Amino acid sequence: MAYFYDYFAKEYRESRKGKLLPDPAAIFWNINPEDVQSCRRILKNAYANYHGGRNVEVLKQLTGEYRKYVSCSHDGQARDRYNAFVYRYLLEVPVGSRAIAAKLGVAKETVSNYVNRCADEMLVLCMGMPAARHPPEDREAVVRMLVDGSRLFSSMAGDYVFCLFPGKRERTVVERGRRATGQIMGRLAEAVEAYSGYCHDGHAYIDTDIRKAEILQKCIAGVSPAAIAEEYGCCQSTVYADIRENEKRLAAMMFEVRGVKVKRTELEML
């Protein structure tokens, strides 16, 4: 709707000058992907040496926090992924991929994907959104990543994880990633709250806006589009259309207008 973009989103941006994102890359705070890969290798090696390593208690605590995340997941495969990871690394006698595949009723290649996915998500618990493998290409994709990963980004583990990354460079990356994630998720929460208010404003909304706001909250909670469509008694294409419009609107609220230069002092606040 023209009113949303021409008035509401514009006023929202004007009220948050200096706190808007200049471009998609800004959410990663210029963190080098190679440094993230180094942190990923360190974390996987720590689990690979779980029984003989120095950080067993820390890894147990991190795994426990990941288990809490998985237990509340709407993803039907999340528990299988977690179990595959436990079989591979945490049992007293590690289980091979072929045996894990037989236990879970999946292909051997699927087990490898499960284990890698768990390691990736645990790295997110350690350092936040810069651990994401694929940086968003555009503004709407940034919002999609923040919404889809909201539960994980909001579940970051405590500072105890720093001991898993003893190197100065990797520790700095983890610290920066955690700060970036906290700030960006705070800005998302502000935008979602304001957007929900807009959608429920009796003087401005249209009848489908309330549904859009409700669908946004369900997406943040991790509910799948198929489950949302079933709950609302509509087709999935309707749900996806609302999701895409939500992403477009939130992007219009959270990012600087294209072509408008941001002062360096403002960028340094990100």
pLDDT band at 255, cuts 50/70/90? very high
CA dihedral 89, 78, 72, 182 (to 10 degrees): 80
pLDDT band at 8, cuts 50/70/90? very high
Q: Looking at the predicted structure, is the pLDDT value of residue 143 above 70?
A: yes
- How confident is the model at residue 259, as a pLDDT? 52
- Integer CA distances (angstroms), 131 to 33, 134, 188, 238, in order: 8, 9, 18, 32
Do residues 260 and 25 lie in contact, with contact meaning Cβ atoms separated by under 8 Å?
Answer: no
- Six token digits for residue 219: 């997406």
Do residues 131 and 161 lie in contact, with contact meaning Cβ atoms separated by under 8 Å?
Answer: no
Closest CA to 216 of 194, 243, 191, 237: 243
Do residues 93 and 102 lie in contact, with contact meaning Cβ atoms separated by under 8 Å?
Answer: no
pLDDT band at 264, cuts 50/70/90? very low
- How confident is the model at residue 3, as a pLDDT? 84
When pLDDT is averaged across residues 225-244 and rounded to a whole number, the result is 94
- How confident is the model at residue 262, as a pLDDT? 46
* Non-local CB neighbours of 229 within 8 Å, separated by 6+ positions: 235, 236, 238, 239
pLDDT digits 0-9 by tens, 165-201? 999 999 999 999 999 999 999 999 999 999 999 998 8
- Six token digits for residue 197: 């208010």
Distance CA 63, CA 71 (A): 12
More confidently predicted of 114 and 75: 114
Model-level pTM greater than 0.85?
A: yes
Say how many Å lie between the first and final Cα of the chain, rounded.
Answer: 30
Q: Looking at the predicted structure, is the pLDDT value of residue 70 above 70?
A: yes
* Non-local CB neighbours of 40 within 8 Å, separated by 6+ positions: 119, 120, 123, 131
- How confident is the model at residue 203, as a pLDDT? 66
When pLDDT is averaged across residues 26-37 and rounded to a whole number, the result is 88
> 3-class DSSP state for residue 179?
helix
More confidently predicted of 127 and 263: 127
pLDDT band at 162, cuts 50/70/90? very high
Distance CA 179, CA 186 (A): 11
